[in-house]
Chain A
Amino acid sequence: MKRRSTFLNVSAGMGFVFLYAPIIALIIYSFNKSKLVTVWGGWSLKWYAELFKNDQIIDAALVSVKIAVISATLAVVLGTLAGFVLTRFGRFRGKMILSGWTTAPLVMPEVITGLSLLLLFVAMEGMFGWPSGRGTGTVIIAHTTFCLAYVAVIVQSRLVSLDETLEEAAMDLGARPASLFFLVTLPLIAPALVSGWLLSFTLSLDDLVIASFVSGPGDSTLPMVIFSKVRLGVSPEVNALATLMILTVAVGVIAAVFQMRRQHRSKEIQE
């Protein structure tokens, strides 16, 4: 019994080390003074300074954030509707198809999604003259489509675990479907919407492949710029950028965990 748990701890522990060692190495090397990425030349913030002087990266970052905010918001609206329809509307014609369309983008290889959307945009431009050319607009549409699927899944799992009698009680008290949704269901699934938005934001900010297909010239997103830089080898500036992005996320997640624990505790105290 004892030996088995040691085996388990060691093997699982190695898994966690595997998960974090590269990230930690990356962070440490972002403070490396040396231009040669693997030779340690002492601590320095030099690459962070370089990073903020690099207009190409800063511009791309701004474009990416703008795309991420808009597509995450759109994805939350559409994804919530999809998740709600799939869990609360009972049976309807085309339900199987809709549920297939909302889960397939999760695993669809990005090259296929990217290529197919690009070809669609080109074909639509040929037929209707819209969208004229490609740029941030087409990237937003593409990102909304695949982020929508993530939001729908999160909302669905939240709705499934939600006590349906709460909604029945609201209807019993006279809430019509629309007010029921906005006054009862939506507040109850708010945490799912928040995590859905944050996840969409991250996914959009991170996407290289789809954006490469559907963005236009001059509208390079941050991952596209990073990719073109690192394709040729390790770049200390990218190390610095990666560190900043990872720390931002880490701080956010840790704050969220603490917030959750505080709520949990105050709930326990109330009970």
Chain B
Amino acid sequence: MSIIAESVRLTGPTLRALILERLGQIKCGRYAVISIPGLWLAVFFFIPFLVVFKISLAETAIAIPPYTSLFEFDLEEALLEISINLGNYRYLFEDDFYLAAYLNSAKIAAISTFFTLLIGFPMAYLIARSHGTTRTLLLSLVILPFWTSFLLRVYAWMGILQKNGIVNDFLMSIGLIDTPLTILQTDIAVYIGIVYTYLPFMVLPLYTALEKLDGALLEAAQDLGCKPAQTFFLITLPLSLPGVVAGCLLVFIPAVGEFVIPALLGGSDTLMIGRVLWDEFFLSRDWPMASAVATVMLIVLVLPIMLIRNNAEKQGEAA
């Protein structure tokens, strides 16, 4: 009885204080709970990067595994011998091939991101402005491809873009072209593939940002003399900027390291760093070089990845 009476009186701040105190008492349990996902991610997400970095400093060798060891223990002499090989990195920066691959990946990712934004924005805007069942329907139409196989969606374009595929058939039947265009196995096919597969990643954050946009703000802008286009650039776009940034990063980052799309849709001359890494690993079996390629890619991408987190936190605060 008395316990009930007491807890009835405890409200608001007092209750919170009590909860914190109670949580303090079970601090051990608390850290046990934290450590389960923490340890898993440390071992299988974070440490692997250290391993990659370590192996990028090794030399390739005909052995299993195919690289030299960095540390040599000599127990009798009580010596630890460390051999670091910076050759992979030197090679990476000296050979134009790798630099070209990085730059080309960034270029392809950036251009694709831009087109994804261009196509995704009207879609997100339309969904945010619709109501009830229409909104649910349109939103599920955007999410649905997300649930279907990425690989198969890229594959679908092979049939469409090839020499005697639907696109060429269509263009020829309306008399726009006489001979079939070569689209498959060019950079254009890669752009199409990236825009297509990453479109939902762009539309969803844009929709989230646009949905929060108060319609009264747009009316207020018009009321103060803005034409629709001005309203868009002065109000809608700045206020949906967090969504634009999130969407662009969500498309750009994975697109830089994309392998499947250039492998299936790109030509042999479509140079992308994900593909270079794959080939170093699977074809040349040069694990240290592949590791060096990965390390540099990771360093380049750390900044945009951190941007995503900050952006998400800012949005969280605003809401």
Task: Give A contacts to B, CB under 8 Å.
Answer: 1, 4, 8-9, 11-12, 14-16, 18-23, 25-26, 29, 37-39, 78-79, 81-82, 84-85, 89-90, 92, 94, 98-113, 115-117, 119-120, 122-123, 126, 141-142, 144-145, 148, 152, 160, 168, 171-174, 177-178, 198-199, 202, 205-206, 208-209, 212-213, 223, 226-227, 230-231, 233-234, 238-239, 241-242, 245-246, 249-250, 252-253, 257, 260-261
Contact = CB atoms under 8 A, between A and B. Distances in A.
B59 to A, nearest CB: 15
A119 B34 contact: no
Contacts of B140: 253, 257
Which are the 4 A-B pairs with shortest beta-carbon distances? Answer: A109-B257, A116-B48, A82-B37, A12-B126
B-side interface size class: 35 or more
A112 B294 contact: yes
Contacts of A106: 250
B211 interface: no
Interface of B: 3, 7, 10, 15-16, 19-20, 22-23, 26, 29-31, 33-34, 36-38, 40-49, 51-52, 55, 65, 119-120, 122-123, 125-127, 129, 133, 136, 138, 140-145, 147-153, 155-160, 162, 164-166, 169, 196, 199, 228, 249-250, 253-254, 256-260, 263-264, 274, 277-278, 281-282, 287, 290-291, 294, 297-298, 301, 305, 308-309, 312, 316
B257 to A, nearest CB: 2
Name B's interface SS.
helix
8 contacts: A12-B126, A16-B141, A18-B196, A81-B37, A102-B41, A141-B44, A144-B44, A249-B148
B108 to A, nearest CB: 13
Among B42, B43, B44, B165, chain A packs the most CB atoms within 10 A around the CB of B44
B268 to A, nearest CB: 12
A186 to B, nearest CB: 14
Contact of A12 (B122, B294, B312): B122
Given A23-B156, A38-B162, A231-B264, A123 B51 contact: yes
Nearest to B37: A82
B19 to A, nearest CB: 6
Contacts of B256: 109
A181 B294 CA distance: 40
Contacts of A212: 282
A111 B256 CA distance: 11
Given A15-B199, A171-B19, A26 B152 contact: yes
B149 A111 contact: no
Contacts of B40: 78, 144-145, 148
A212 to B, nearest CB: 8
Nearest to A205: B149
B65 A122 contact: yes
A253 B156 contact: no
Given A116-B49, A119-B55, A172-B10, A148 B41 contact: yes
Contact of A242 (B19, B42, B155, B274): B155
A4 B259 CA distance: 39
Given A15-B122, A19-B141, A38-B162, A208 B260 contact: yes
Nearest to B290: A115
A109 B196 contact: no
Nearest to A96: B309
A110 B160 CA distance: 26
Interface centre among B22, B26, B160, B308, by most A CB within 10 Å? B160
B185 to A, nearest CB: 11
B126 A246 contact: no
B257 A23 contact: no
A84 B260 CA distance: 34
Contact of A81 (B36, B55, B144, B157): B36
A69 B254 CA distance: 25
A29 B158 CA distance: 12
A252 to B, nearest CB: 8
B166 A25 contact: yes
